[in-house]
Amino acid sequence: MLQPPGFAQHSLTTSLGTLVYYAAEHPISGNPAAANRPLLVFLHGFGGGSSAYEWSQVYPAFVPEYQVIAPDLLGWGRSEHLNRFYEIADYLTSLTEFLEQIGGSGATVIASSLTAALIVCIAVARPELFKALILVAPSGLADFGQPYNSWLSQVVSFPVIDRIIYSTAIATSAGIRSFLEQRQFARANRVSQEMVDAYLASAQQPNAEYSALSFVRGNLCFDLAEHIPQLRTPTAILWGKEAQFTRAELGQRFLDLNPQAIQRLHLLEDVGLTPQLELPAVTIGVLRQILRELR
């Protein structure tokens, strides 16, 4: 859970707990220079040890032009960890309250994977909180009626066994490295020890197993395709062509559902599910281009 130089840790309270976020300048303290910049929020995805670190090699590049904020979601990183399993409503509520407190007249939100799907639901319900969306491989993991099902989700549905699997196979250095190499990246040699250490630090926080196991079990899955047609916020989708967990073809299907709101689908070559970690310099360039187009 490393934070880039020049960024400070802050927090705010939601009805479900305290969320920690990282910002170059405090968004509420009234810094005149920062107050005039548009708000750009980076939201990480879900997976063993996820946190705002996922975007930490990307978001510093946007500080000169934007008021940049990157939170750890509820149950991840340094944010509060509930002593129970999570439901979709927990993330819809905590993210909505977070955006209400920091957003003012609306934010441009860059979010990945399942979090990106949840943000679509919030944008449909509360469009005034957003100026634009950039979604990296968005998926509710049960899209177009396809049920979420895996052998691991069935195994971790059993009490005691789920904790054993988490502590011995997920929240370990070897487990984190395997997850990044096999599920997140197109090329395993791009996974650094710093990445493994950052994910491991998040995965070993007290009660971190609840959010991770809720994700693995499929408790947080839903059909994003049911919500895309109602989206009105200007949106772009970014997808790594080599993504294994959710294939890039899904992006085209989402675009076809609502080409009025989804203005662009950008496919990145030679990159997997998290281009922001695997090829951060390329991702920065693509995001700059997309942000110009959405403006």
Residues facing residue 124 across a β-bridge: none
Whether 42 contacts 58, CB under 8 Å: yes
Q: What is the dihedral of CA 44, 45, 47, 50, to 10 degrees?
A: 0
Whether the CA torsion 77, 82, 86, 90 is positive or negative: it is negative
pLDDT at 158: 54
Instruction: Note the pTM of the prediction, 2 decimals.
Output: 0.94
Q: Does residue 235 contact residue 135 with C-beta atoms inside 8 Å? A: yes
Per domain, the residue ranges of the chain are: 8-294
Beta bridge partners of 12: 19
First-last CA distance in the chain = 32
User: Using alpha carbons only, how large is the chain's radius of gyration in Å?
Assistant: 18
Confidence of residue 35 (pLDDT cuts 50, 70, 90): low
Topology of 8-294 in CATH? Answer: Rossmann fold (3.40.50)
Per DSSP, which regions of the chain are E strands? 8-14, 17-23, 39-43, 67-71, 107-112, 130-136, 235-240, 262-268
> How do strand 262-268 and strand 235-240 relate by DSSP bridges?
parallel
Note the pLDDT tens digit of each residue in 113-136. Answer: 999 999 999 999 999 999 999 999
3-state secondary structure of 139: coil
CA–CA distance, 118 with 43 (Å, rounded to integer):
11
pLDDT digits (tens, 9 = 90+) for 248-267: 999 999 999 999 999 999 99
Beta bridge partners of 67: 39
Minimum mean pLDDT among 2-16, 24-38, 213-227: which range?
24-38
What is the rounded average pLDDT for all residues in the chain?
91
Report the alpha-carbon distance of residue 50 to residue 229 in Å, rounded.
Answer: 29
